[in-house]
């Protein structure tokens, strides 16, 4: 096979899982943010891949240092605003860099209770993680936010019935089951200038959780759509919501061999296998 029949496809490279914590001290009262940061660059890197010429290539170690220095200079008022500042700096790292991608996971800390008031400098890890994604090039930047690993459950108001059956179907129908899922969601903003990222993140997260709980769910699929639709109806700045909702099964345990009637009280909690429901809810193109 001749050389002109083999070409280099799209490439990127960067630094992953850069962990940082920043303590901001306002007298005796401290604030804490902990982040995991992934950064990646795209551009004209063919000389490096094809000929081993590294002269236009910023080192991934440099990218790691930029993550820390930018965090030192930035107030870290939100992962999204920090991601925008980081992406801007990464775009300037090399002559052939054309695009920067930043993904930030925030491991949230809440203040411990100190006799009825929030403690000044003691914290407890919050449930779930926040996410911010920035993709930037010379023309501008796209910003998304989200949540990961938020375990939610309701003990009733959920069922799974009247589904398609065939020769391989063994699952009984039910109109009263536990619905539990490890929710991950990502929502994309439209034009982001002037947005209050921190406030929007809190409000969108709260809306997702409220919409999980506020209805009878005939399926996880229906609940997924209802949650995404509620966010789009309430927040004009959001243009698309992607949700991932693995079904954390709680199976009614058979108590009959022990002469007992299990009235939806005792469940076997399983981890594998699990149903995986995913979907995107978005605004219709005009």
| Residues labelled as active-site residues | 15, 60, 249
What's the rounded Cα separation, in Å, for the pair 68 and 262? Answer: 55
Cα torsion 50, 54, 57, 62 to 10°: value is: 140
Residues whose CB is less than 8 angstroms from the CB of residue 115 and which lie 6 or more positions away in sequence, other chains included: none
Is residue 88 a contact partner of residue 140, using CB atoms and an 8 Å limit?
no
What's the rounded Cα separation, in Å, for the pair 283 and 286? Answer: 9
Coil, helix or strand for 256? helix
Counting every residue written for the chain, the total comes to 286
Sign of the CA dihedral running 59, 63, 65, 66: positive
Q: What is the DSSP string of 151-202?
A: EEEESSSB-B-S----TT--PPPBSS--EEEEEEEEEEESS-TT--HHHHHH
Burial class (CB in 10 A: 0-12, 13-18, 19+), 222: middle
Strands (E), the chain: 13-26, 29-43, 97-113, 118-137, 140-154, 179-189, 238-247, 250-252, 267-269, 275-282
What's the rounded Cα separation, in Å, for the pair 4 and 229? Answer: 49
């Amino acid at each position: 096979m001749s050389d002109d029949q083999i070409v280099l496809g799209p490439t990127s490279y960067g630094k992953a899982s850069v962990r940082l914590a920043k303590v901001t001290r306002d007298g005796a009262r401290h604030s804490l943010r902990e982040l995991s940061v992934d950064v990646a660059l795209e551009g004209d890197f063919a000389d490096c891949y094809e000929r081993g010429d590294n002269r236009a290539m910023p080192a991934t170690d440099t990218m790691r240092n930029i993550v820390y220095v930018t965090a030192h200079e930035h107030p870290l008022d939100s992962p999204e605003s920090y991601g925008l500042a980081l992406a801007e700096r990464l775009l300037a790292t090399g002559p052939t860099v054309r695009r920067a991608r930043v993904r930030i996971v925030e491991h949230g800390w809440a203040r411990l209770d100190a006799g009825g008031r929030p403690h000044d400098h003691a914290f407890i890890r919050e449930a779930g993680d926040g996410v911010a994604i920035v993709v930037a090039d010379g023309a501008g930047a796209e910003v998304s936010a989200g949540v990961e690993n938020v375990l939610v459950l309701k003990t009733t108001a959920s069922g799974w019935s009247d589904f398609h059956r065939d020769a391989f179907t063994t699952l009984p129908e039910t109109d009263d089951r536990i619905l539990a899922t490890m929710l991950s969601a990502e929502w994309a903003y439209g034009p982001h200038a002037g947005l209050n990222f921190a406030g929007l993140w809190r409000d969108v997260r709260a809306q997702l959780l409220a919409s999980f709980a506020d209805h009878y769910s005939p399926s996880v699929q229906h609940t997924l759509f209802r949650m995404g639709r509620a966010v789009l109806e309430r927040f004009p700045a959001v243009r698309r919501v992607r949700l991932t909702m693995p079904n954390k099964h709680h199976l009614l345990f058979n108590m009959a061999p022990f002469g007992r009637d299990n009235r939806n009280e005792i469940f076997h909690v399983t981890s594998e296998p699990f149903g995986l429901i995913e979907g995107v809810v978005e605004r219709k193109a005009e």
